Amino acid sequence: MDPTTQSFQHRTLSVKLWPPSQSTRLMLVERMTKNLTTPSIISRKYGLLSKEEAEEDAKQIEELAFIAANQHYQKEPDGDGSFAVQVYAKESSKLMLEVLRRGPRMKEDGEVITTDKATAVRTDIFDISGGRRAFISADEAEDLLKPLKEPGHLYTRICFSNRSFGLDAAGVAAPILSSIRDQLTEVDLSDFVAGRPESEALDVMNIFSTALEGCNLRYLNLSNNALGEKGLRAFGALLKTQKNLEELYLINDGISEEAARAVCELIPSTEKLKVLQFHNNMTGDEGAVAIAEIVKRSTMLEDFRCSSTRIGSDGGVILAEALGTCSHLRKLDLRDNMFGVEAGVALSKSLFSFADLTEVYLSYLNLEDEGAEALANALKDSAPSLEVLEMAGNDITVKGASRLAACIAAKQFLSKLNLSENELKDEGAILIAKAIEEGHGQLNEVDLSTNSIRRAGARLLAQAVVLKPGFKMLNINGNYISDEGIDEVKDILKNLPGVIGLLDENDPEGEDLDEETNEEDEDNEDELEFKLKGLEIKHDQ
């Protein structure tokens, strides 16, 4: 056996899902608090909890669920903890439903508690991004930035986004920024040179960079400036002095291979970086190598977005392997790249590092069944608190649906599931419906649009979600559901107005099917549903 395969198998077998980390437990409390304060059919009947009461209840629910799950785990300590995680999730969902049905507690005088505490007004944020997007003159800049010159102000966070600075306005801003740079912790300069000639825009960037050089930032946003390598180097003075950055945004900035290398070169330390976003750039495979180097140094990374960056299989494999060092990752967004099967399999090996992962966006990556199955297997045995799973547009067929369904069945904290634009058909849709029908009390959005689903699959999906507390959207548009099937779905969901959404792209006749074939499919739908409802979802590796 290949040594790499042996190592991978050993790693898979050694994964422990229990006990959850403290951060995972806190995230569950936050999630339940949000659900308990979200309007639903149940809350309309029993009343909506206040934020304070919901938070108190959520803490108690989590503690009781943890105790129950831990008792199960102690009876089988040699297991991987997967059963304990399921008990933890199901107990949480059951207790949360009980609280929802109980409704808000009453005060001693009988009055229902409904009000939240007033939100404190922030005095540390200076933001001029509101209003009409426009060029600003030197006089306007002088007037806009006047509060920053007042002695004793408390501004530590500034946002100049949505206002286009030319040389005159930059000349006004520079000395003001220089005078307060020692107190700044967050700077947003996204979209602040829009419409300027390249030479002027680069000069403005240089002016702002010099003015802010040496400030100690935790947050920096340079998005939507078409930076490219020249723009990034124009910000060199600022970037080179940042040793404590926690969040860096370079979205829609023309980050090419050369620009990605410049980022890697200019930022001296990413040891504290928690958020790194490169969405909508032209990075490509060679640029992915440079980004992978940044990722390797960013061991505290929690939120990584590298979507729509033209990265193919080679770059995808390198980036996927680099992500294996980021054990604190909570949110991963790699959508709309050309990864293919090989990069998908490489990513599946890194997923075992992400015990705290709550959101994963893997749509439009050309994964096909093989890549999707590898990722589903990995996710099933990791990320116990996963809330969002998106794998749309990956050519997944019913062949890959079984592994995917097993993964989904294990993810009891899912709130959003998007498998649109695949080829699951009725067989796959029914397997997914079976996976979500039990538990999944926090699920509120399911998207299986454009999957060649017919009447049986649509009916089972509706039945699977109808009793979920707070469920908001079932998208089955763009399928081949008969008129009778649509009527059935609407009847099942009649007490959830707006949940079914639009059906304007549904084709009751099916694509390129003659009348005889369509009638035959309609006759076989009930038999198909009967057979598939008895299928067991595979949980083996």
pLDDT of residue 357 exceeding 80, the answer is: yes
Range with the poorest average pLDDT among 39-43, 302-306, 525-529:
525-529
Rounded to whole angstroms, how far apart are CA atoms 234 and 156?
24
CATH topology of domain 121-269: 3.80.10
Which residue, 475, 454, 408, 460, is CA-closest to 430? 460
Task: Look at strands 219-221 and 186-188 and give their pairing.
Answer: parallel
Q: What is the pLDDT of residue 531?
A: 46
401 pLDDT tier (thresholds 50, 70, 90): very high
Phi (first) and psi of residue 494, to 5 degrees: -65, -25
- CATH 1.10.246.200 in the chain, residues? 22-102
Q: Quickly tell me which residue has 């291979």 as its tokens.
A: 257
Find residue 191's DSSP bridge partners.
Answer: none
Q: How far is CA 100 from its chain centroid?
A: 26
Q: Within 10 Å of residue 533's Cβ, how many Cβ atoms?
A: 13
Determine the residue type at 211. A
Average pLDDT over the chain reads 86
Q: What is the three-class DSSP state of 113?
A: coil
Q: What is the pLDDT of residue 335?
A: 98
162: left (phi over 0), alpha (psi -120 to 50) or beta: left
pLDDT of residue 1 exceeding 70, the answer is: no
| Better-scored residue on pLDDT, 10 or 251 | 251
Q: Within 10 Å of residue 30's Cβ, how many Cβ atoms?
A: 11
Q: Taking the CA atoms of the chain, what radius of gyration do you get in angstroms?
A: 26
Contact 436, 405 (CB under 8 A): no
**Residue 306, C-beta contacts closer than 8 angstroms, at least 6 positions apart:** 277, 278, 279, 283, 288, 291, 319, 333, 334, 337
Contact 364, 394 (CB under 8 A): yes
Rounded to whole angstroms, how far apart are CA atoms 478 and 121?
46
Residue 93 in tokens: 């969902």
- List of E strands, 426-515: 445-447, 473-475
pLDDT of residue 345 exceeding 70, the answer is: yes
User: pLDDT for 126-154, tens place per residue?
Assistant: 999 887 788 999 999 999 999 999 998 89
pTM over 0.75: yes
Contact 319, 288 (CB under 8 A): yes
User: pLDDT for 99-127, tens place per residue?
Assistant: 877 778 744 344 444 433 323 334 689 99
Contact 36, 99 (CB under 8 A): yes
CATH superfamily for 22-102 is: WPP domain (1.10.246.200)
Which residue, 209, 220, 144, 226, is CA-closest to 174? 209
Q: Quickly tell me which residue has 């707006």 as its tokens.
A: 498
Determine the residue type at 250. L
Find residue 157's DSSP bridge partners.
Answer: 125, 186
Rounded to whole angstroms, how far apart are CA atoms 416 and 42?
20
Segment 23-52 mean pLDDT: 77
Rounded to whole angstroms, how far apart are CA atoms 458 and 336?
27
Q: What is the three-class DSSP state of 277?
A: strand
- CATH 3.80.10.10 in the chain, residues? 121-269
**CA atoms lying within 13 Å on the CB side of residue 539:** 8
| Better-scored residue on pLDDT, 416 or 114 | 416
Q: What is the pLDDT of residue 6?
A: 42
90 pLDDT tier (thresholds 50, 70, 90): confident
- List of E strands, 85-161: 125-127, 134-136, 157-159
Q: What is the pLDDT of residue 202?
A: 97
Q: How far is CA 78 from its chain centroid?
A: 33
Residue 298 in tokens: 């960013």
Find residue 247's DSSP bridge partners.
Answer: 219, 275
513 pLDDT tier (thresholds 50, 70, 90): very low
Find residue 158's DSSP bridge partners.
Answer: 126, 187
Q: What angle do CA 81, 389, 39 make, to 5 degrees?
A: 100
Rounded (to 5) percent helix, strand, coil in the chain: 50, 10, 45
Determine the residue type at 494. K
Determine the residue type at 135. F
| Better-scored residue on pLDDT, 14 or 216 | 216
Determine the residue type at 431. L
Segment 298-321 mean pLDDT: 97
pLDDT of residue 418 exceeding 60, the answer is: yes
Rounded to whole angstroms, how far apart are CA atoms 6 and 219?
42
474: left (phi over 0), alpha (psi -120 to 50) or beta: beta
Q: How far is CA 132 from its chain centroid?
A: 30
pLDDT of residue 173 exceeding 90, the answer is: yes
Determine the residue type at 176. I
Q: Within 10 Å of residue 480's Cβ, how many Cβ atoms?
A: 23
Rounded to whole angstroms, how far apart are CA atoms 523 and 20?
48
CA-to-CA separations, 149 to 155, 183, 513, in angstroms, rounded: 11, 13, 71
